[in-house]
Every structure is written in C-alpha cells, then in structure tokens.
Amino acid sequence: MKCIERVISFLSKLGCWISGIAIMIMIFLITLEVVGRRLFGFSTLVSDEFSGYLLVVITFMGAAYTLKTNGFTRMEVIYNRFAGAGRRVFNILVNLVALIFLVVADYWILVYTLSSYRFDTRSISIVQTPLFIPQLFMGVGITLLLFEVILELGLSLTRKESRDEKTEIGDA
C-alpha cells in the first residue's frame, strides 16, 4: 500500500506542477495581450481562447493535489456532527459517492475526447485548436482525482483514521 500511496502522491504532485505551469503561461498570455493592446495596438487574437484551455488544465490537473492536501471545501456543519467511527463511516460513504461519480465522469470524458479526436473537432478560432488536446487534460485530471479518492477510500477502510482526520489531529 505504501508503494501505491507514493506513486499516487507523485502523480498528484506532478498534476499540481502542471497546473502551476499553466497558471504562469496564462499570466504571460494575458499580460502580453494587455501590454500589446495598450502600448502597441496589436492583439495576439488567441489569448482568450488559450486562457480558457489553460483554465481547464489548472482546474482538472490541480484537483487531485487539492484533495490530497484537504483543500476542498466541505460542509463542516455535517462533518463535525460525526466523531470516531461515525466520521470514518461518513468518510467511506462520501468517498464511495465520489468514486461512483468520478468513474462515470471519467468514462464520459473519455468518450467525448475520443469522439473529438476521431471527428477532428476543432475550435472555431483562427488557430483551429484540435479540441481533444484540452479535453485530454480533463480526462487525466479526473483520473488523478479518481486515484486519490481510491487511495483515501483504501486508507479509510484499512485504518482507524483517514488522512483527513490525521491532518485535523496534527493541526489541533
């Protein structure tokens, strides 16, 4: 289990790095567009489109690391009503629901991406970006998040406390 945990942790961190690089590229593109329009009277004509694609990369590739570090917002009102075994069961149920949702989402994103690739679907901009490229990041990001949920579920089932509870104990 430790080896699998390390691999998933590495993949989540890699996704986070990719997300961070996408943020830097987006900042550069937007800055270039603003400076170009303001000072030189030209436009890249693609910064808006590419920033949208980069936002997809940022969101999906960073999701697994966000889960790993307990960065997602949760309903504390409900979560705090449970303690000990009740919280463990609640975590298991939440992770099972997330697992089901992510498996279905991952499947349909894969179908969507393959369809875009097969039919050579492109954006309507001057660049005509093949849409399967940003869609790939959606599928990879969801898969990484799915790995983290499976890991969290495994930890909840095999230990008395999940990573979530360990973090809270450590923060207190």
Number of neighbouring beta carbons within 10 Å of residue 55: 14
Residue 33 amino acid letter: E
Q: What is the mean pLDDT of the chain?
A: 91
Give the list of residues 6+ apart from residue 96 with CB closer than 8 angstroms, or none.
Answer: 153
Task: State the pLDDT at residue 117.
Answer: 98
Largest CA distance in the chain: 64
CB under 8 Å to 95, separation ≥6 — which residues?
149, 152, 153, 156
Q: pLDDT by residue (tens digit) across 133-168?
A: 999 999 999 999 999 999 999 988 887 555 665 555
Query: Dihedral angle at the C-alpha atoms of 24, 26, 29, 31, nearest 10 degrees?
Result: -70
Q: How many residues does the chain have?
A: 172
Q: Is the CB of residue 98 less than 8 Å from the CB of residue 149?
A: yes
What is the tens place of the pLDDT at every residue in 54-71?
999 999 999 999 999 988
Q: What's the pTM value of the predicted model, to 2 decimals?
A: 0.87
| Confidence class for position 81, pLDDT limits 50, 70, 90 | confident
Q: Residues 6 or more apart from 90 whose CB is under 8 A from it?
A: 78, 79, 82
* Whole-angstrom Cα Rg for the chain: 20
What pLDDT is attached to residue 75? 75
Q: What is the pLDDT of residues 90-130, one digit of tens each?
A: 889 999 999 999 999 999 999 999 999 999 999 999 999 99
64-84 average pLDDT score: 86
